Amino acid sequence: MSRLIIVSNRLPVTIGKKEGGELFYHPSAGGLATGLNSLDDSINKIWIGWPGKDIRDEWEQEAVRKDLLDQDLVPVFLSKKEIKLYYEGFSNKTIWPHFHYFTQFTTYDESSWDAYKAVNRKFAEVVIPHIQPGDMVWVHDYQLLLVPEMIRQAHPNISIGFFLHIPFPSYEVFRILPWREQLLNGILGADQIGFHTFGYMRHFLSAAYRITGHEHSVGMLSVNNRAVNVDVFPMGIDYEKYAHTDPDPQDEEVRKIRDLAKRISLVISIDRLDYTKGIPTRLQAFERFLETSVDQHGKVTLVLIVVPSRSNVDQYQELKHQVDELVGSINGRFGSFDWTPVRYFYRSLNFSELTGLYKAAHIAMITPLRDGMNLVAKEFVASKEENKQGVLILSEMAGAANELTEAIMVNPQDIQGMADALQRALDMPVADQERRLKSMQSKLKIYNVEHWANTFLTDQQNFMKQQEKQNISRMEDQQLDEIYQAFRQAQKRLIILDYDGTLMDFKPDPQAVVPDDKLIHLLKSLKASPQTKLIVNSGRDRDTLQEWLGPLDIDMAAEHGVWIKRKGEWALNPGLASDWKSEIRDVLENMVERTPGSFIEEKDFSIAWHYRRIDKEFGEKRVREFRDVLLYLTANLDLQVLEGNKVVEIKNAGVNKGKATLNWVDEENWDFIMALGDDHTDEDTFKALPDHAYTIKVGLSNSVAKYNVLSVQEVRQLLDRFTKID
């Protein structure tokens, strides 16, 4: 990798101004900066983002550029209006609440959307001139969802990664957004897309399929003739920093924290002020705990740290007011002259105070209603490296719950459940605390923030190398030229074409894939050469093929070779039976009854169950349920069960496309043979052909074919070029 170009909303430094107007720079806090700064020094990095201040004067902007260039940082300057509409508006009033399932707070404002597009374009225009061949771009988070596609348009062959640091919602929630397709296409401009959890990844793949039509195979998508890898990369923390950094012993606040912890059990709650964090519900749970555990009065204190955030937004102002009232109510009801049940701090803590609180606390109560990861939970666990005492109460809805499985898991909406968890944590034996902490710490040591960043980049690099290797089998200009030259020189040419997925794209209704005028013209042009024999070898029924392609007067095979059309006449493959269909039909009708949207297609000597109109995963679930039944029923009937693209077909075992192909392969001494197909049934065709044949698979899946093309569009382009050869 020549260089890594990092693109994020904020730079790892923030600009400030002294009283005299002199600019100064201080590091930005956050796990992203920590993780990316921990990358191997051999990686040459450039970081592009907003420097955190509205700088208008050109001379001042130029000064900032020069200052930041020394640190390999490149600023994107944004006006106050752009920040208001793009960041405070669309990013945090549309995407943030929506992706966290708070749709009641989602705003649908066109002006904010326009600003979001414009600022994403501004970021892309800063990035694009910096890109050199061999570079890798890594775009981060929800503020820049459109940037990958914008960069892709300018640099089609550059390697682009994207990581989403917040949840990706379920399809049913995501689909509500009016700009859903644009946002998905923006992300899909990347080659590798990363999420914190498998759940977020699954939601994204579902949305990509249902909204943009891109299907995946084991997390691999084909998008505009590109392979896109979607995977899970849980973000970690700087473990050593929290495990082995002692708080400043001179810090007065740290001393007070330690003294308090000696007298009372500390339950800590540390969050940014946000409705996703579940702070009011947590306070209500603590209140319930005090109501039911009178013996704990004076023995337990909740230390509530709320870091100010977006204080000019109505929902956040209301949330602050609600928290203030709850704290006041709890302290008023249960407090005494020598005990404050809730110690409430509406401010951020310095690192010494934070680590001091982590190390002194007996319990960390981290119960967000929805959270992409939540690094506070990991930091608390790491801080217990030395004494191995402490209990983590963690929300099931935090991404960290997938890793910190030894925590006490709670439903953040279950007030009684959280109150019970507090009592359980207080009663937990030291040996149990130590066992749980050791297990969680062992994972966090390995899967730290450095591991997260390096894994993403290594996987990205390996993925791109794999693609380069796959390009040997993918059709490139050199192979195309070789095929065209062989076609030009040949006197006897045989071209065998599948139909669905090869000449025409799939549609929900199989009968809607009528050949368009361009395809008819293309096939006529190919057939026009007396040196070329054109065959369509399809799983379609005879009547449909005859209706659609009969006027072209070309040879065809229908139902995978049950029917063969040669010299204008259809002939039936001898020795076939169809009386078995009634028994199989009952099973398939049961599948239809249980799977609304699926349907049966009955042919002369085969019967198929289609699920192309329904969710792919739902259809595959039904296939798994019925596969054993179908295999059992067909075992003694000389039948074969074929699984194609969203279809399961049962047919006579002695018939396949490969055997049908031999009808034409054996009739002449062909000096040029080429076959194209897209699914499992076409593998029989490829296997039946001699070694000198050109076999081409449509799609990225494994195949015995010599070459791959990615789409129906590429197939048509390839065939069209044949028609222009004299």
pLDDT digits (tens, 9 = 90+) for 237-259: 999 999 998 888 888 888 999 99
Task: Outline where 245-350 has alpha helix (H).
Answer: 252-263, 279-292, 314-334
Max Cα-Cα span within the chain: 103
State pLDDT tens for residues 480-523.
899 999 999 999 999 999 999 999 987 777 777 899 999 999 99
Q: In what order do the strands lie in the sheet with 45-50?
A: 73-75, 45-50, 4-10, 136-140, 159-163, 192-195, 226-232, 220-223, 216-217
pLDDT at 472: 47
Domain boundaries, the chain: 4-232, 239-446, 477-723
Residues 278-329: pLDDT tens digits?
Answer: 999 999 999 999 999 999 999 999 999 999 987 777 889 999 999 999 999 9
Contact 693, 674 (CB under 8 A): yes
> Do 200 and 166 form a contact (C-beta atoms < 8 A)?
no
The answer to whether residue 527 scores a pLDDT higher than 60 is yes
Give 73: exposed, middle or buried? Use CB within 10 Å, 0-12, 13-18, 19+: buried
The tens digit of pLDDT for each residue in 639-698 reads: 888 887 788 888 887 788 998 999 899 889 999 999 999 988 899 999 999 999 999 999
Distance CA 124, CA 176 (A): 27
Task: Please state, as a whole number, how many other Cβ atoms lie within 10 Å of the Cβ of residue 571.
Answer: 11
- Catalytic residue flag (residue 498): yes
Of 163, 242, 232, the residue nearest 199 (C-alpha): 232
Q: Domain spanning 477-723: which CATH class is it, in words? A: alpha beta
Reduced to 3 states (helix: H, G, I; strand: E, B; else coil), residue 725 is: coil
Altogether, the residues listed in the chain come to a count of 726
Q: What angle do CA 342, 418, 169 make, to 5 degrees?
A: 110
CATH architecture designation of domain 4-232:
3-Layer(aba) Sandwich (3.40)
pLDDT computed for residue 106 by the predictor: 96
**Do the domains spanning 4-232 and 477-723 agree at the CATH topology level?**
yes
Q: Which CATH number fits domain 239-446: 1.10.287.3510, 3.40.50.2000, 3.30.70.20, 3.40.50.720?
A: 3.40.50.2000
CB 583 within 8 A of CB 536: no
Average pLDDT, the chain: 91
Contact of 96 with 316, CB cutoff 8 Å: no
Q: How far is CA 287 from the centre of its chain?
A: 39
Residue of 274, 498, 678, 682 marked active site: 498
Q: CA-to-CA distance for 35 and 85, rounded, in angstroms? A: 29
pTM here?
0.78
